[in-house]
Amino acid sequence: MSNEQGLHIVAVRKNGEGNIEQVKFNNGEVADLETAIRMAEADQIANVNTGATRGDHPHKTLRSNPDGDPTNNLDHLPTF
């Protein structure tokens, strides 16, 4: 089930290293990154997917669906 018209991420909160720690949804609710990853895997958030980082300590990550528009990537969203 696709969530194109429902819940979507409108802002992010980053840690001191610039990594996203929390996301804010269009309904005003906030979720930590782990919760948002689980929600994305359950197709509860529009326009995002999950992947894995590379390197010595790989972990799951949340990312925008590719659409050719870098301005709506999660790293480019407003912060809160």
Q: What is the pLDDT of residues 10-68, one digit of tens each?
A: 999 999 999 999 999 999 999 999 999 999 999 999 999 999 988 888 899 999 998 88
Domain that holds residue 23: 9-76
Residue type, 25: F
Is the pLDDT confidence value at 3 over 70?
no
Q: Does residue 2 form part of some domain?
A: no
Q: Does residue 32 form part of some domain?
A: yes
Q: Does residue 19 form part of some domain?
A: yes
| Residue in the structure block whose two tokens are 């894995």 | 52
Q: What is the 3-state secondary structure (H, E, C) of the chain?
A: CCCCCCCCEEEEEECCCCCEEEEEECCCCEEEHHHHHHHHHCCCCCCEEEEECCCCCCCEEEEECCCCCHHHCHHHCCEC
* pLDDT at residue number 4: 54
Q: Does residue 3 form part of some domain?
A: no
Binned at pLDDT 50, 70 and 90, residue 2 comes out as: very low
Task: Judge contact between 62 and 23, C-beta under 8 A.
Answer: yes
Q: Does residue 53 form part of some domain?
A: yes
What's the structural domain count of the chain? 1
